[in-house]
Amino acid sequence: MLDFYNIDSLLSEEERAVRDSVRRFVDDNVLPVIGECYVEGRFPKEIVPGLAELGVFGANLPEEYGCAGLNNVAYGLIMQELERGDSGVRSFASVQGALVMYPIYAFGSEDQKRHYLPKMASGEIIGCFGLTEPDYGSNPAGMITMAREQPDGSWVLNGAKMWITNGSTAKVAIVWAKTNDDKDQRSIRGFIVPTSSKGFRAKDQKGKLSLRASDTSELVLEDVRVPADALLPKSGGLKSPLMCLTQARYGISWGALGAAMACFEEASSYAKTRIMFDRPIGGFQLQQLRLAEMLTEIVKGQLLCVQLGRLKDRGEFTPQQVSLAKRNNVSIATDIARETRRLLGANGILAEYAAMRHMANLESVYTYEGTHDVHTLILGQSVTGLNAFGA
């Protein structure tokens, strides 16, 4: 991969080693199969044991829970390399690490951490994250899923969750629900729900034209009873799931760059070898403009991510800074994928090339984990102090 700004010099030897190891894994295990998986609409679950052995799940969580204990820049580089393969593969790891392991780590009891985290790092337990509902996407505070505490201390959950990555694959779901008929968002708490629980159903989302190599499901909870210790004791209010989303969005900022880098590599190599009018198409100004724009945006995005990661490692980053990075990097990646598709001409519509797959995937990434528009409002509010959200 072209390192036009010597960004490698901003990385430690260890960070580069992590990236290079995951890069090689993706080259060997993801790239050869992903086009076919995409067409078949199948998540390549055969790569999960290898990813676990490599240590990518929850890689920035501490070693004492069976994780790799990496810093956040190294973690970001892992996300970049996974999404260089496919957004679906990165989504799988994001959900497992940032949306399931992280809340257990941040809001769980010591027993929950010791029980779940090592098994999730080793891939023995796959998890999913249930926040979004059919009628409450950008407005999760309105959720209607309810958990009612029973006299014996157990909880009974009712509701439905939608657009849940890993939903049909997962052994456990982190389900966010309002508690005890209190409609206020401050009553929201997280529960670790085994997907084998009576009354729990996951339904594969059919007809996706994006993230086809990813499991996206709908979860239905009908009188699902879980014991008292299923509650994440330190979770409280909408702030808790939003903290998870900040973690995941951080990873997405890096991941989107990976997809952009894959497209840029494809575009530049195609431009140098595809002959039209007796010369490589890269010799034409229109294609050079495309390539120059792509390269510029990738470099800017990389610098953004490295600095964001350093801030995160120092404990100084804000959710608004993450919004800026997610919003920018996914947007430029979406544009780069589309321009690559166009540069490749008719070949660009084939699954044999990565561009259109990334292009379609990134439309989901643009929309999930805070839509592009929602991040715009977060930044707008940060600048003006005025809330432009509906409520």
228 touching other proteins, by CB under 8 A:
no
Number of residues counted as binding other proteins (CB under 8 A): 21
What is the contact mask toward other proteins in residues 25 to 54, using x (rule: CB under 8 A)? x---------------------------xx
Helix (H) or strand (E) holding 280: strand 279-280
Token reading at 109? 């009891």
Sequence-separated (6 or more) residues with CB below 8 Å from residue 358: 86, 87, 259, 262, 263, 333, 337, 340
Binding marks (x or -) toward other proteins, 269..288, rule CB under 8 A?
--------------------
- Compute the residue count for the chain: 391
Question: Is 324 a binder of other proteins (CB under 8 A)?
Answer: no
Nearer to other proteins, 34 or 202 (CB): 34
**Shortest separation between residue 43's beta carbon and other proteins, angstroms:** 21
- Residue 224's alpha-carbon distances to 163, 192, 199, in angstroms, are 20, 12, 5
Distance CA 279, CA 283 (A): 7
CA distance 239 to 51: 30
CB 351 within 8 A of CB 341: no
Cα separation, 172 vs 386, in Å, equals: 39
Is position 369 annotated as part of the catalytic site?
A: yes
| 55 contributes a contact to other proteins by CB under 8 A | yes
**Residue 59 Cβ vs other proteins, minimum distance, rounded to whole Å:** 5
Residues 79 and 252 sit within 8 Å (Cβ to Cβ): yes
Window 93-152: residues binding other proteins (CB under 8 A): none
Residue 24 interacts with other proteins (CB under 8 A): yes or no: yes
Question: Which residue among 83, 218, 363, 369 is the active-site one?
Answer: 369
Choose between 20 and 184: whose C-beta lies nearer to other proteins.
20
Does residue 70 bind other proteins (CB under 8 A)? yes
Q: To the nearest whole angstrom, how small is the minimum distance from the Cβ of residue 264 to other proteins? A: 17
**Interacting span for other proteins (CB under 8 A) from 9-17, 109-117, 226-234, 352-360:** 9-17
| Token output for 116 | 């779940």
The tokens of 304 are what? 């953004």
69 forms part of the interface with other proteins (CB under 8 A):
yes
For 284-302, letters b (16+ CB in 10 Å) and e give: eeebeebbeebbebbbebb
Considering beta carbons, is residue 68 or 271 the nearer one to other proteins?
Answer: 68
Binding site for other proteins (CB under 8 A): 8, 13-14, 17-18, 20-22, 24-25, 53-56, 59, 63, 68-70, 74, 78
- Catalytic positions are 369
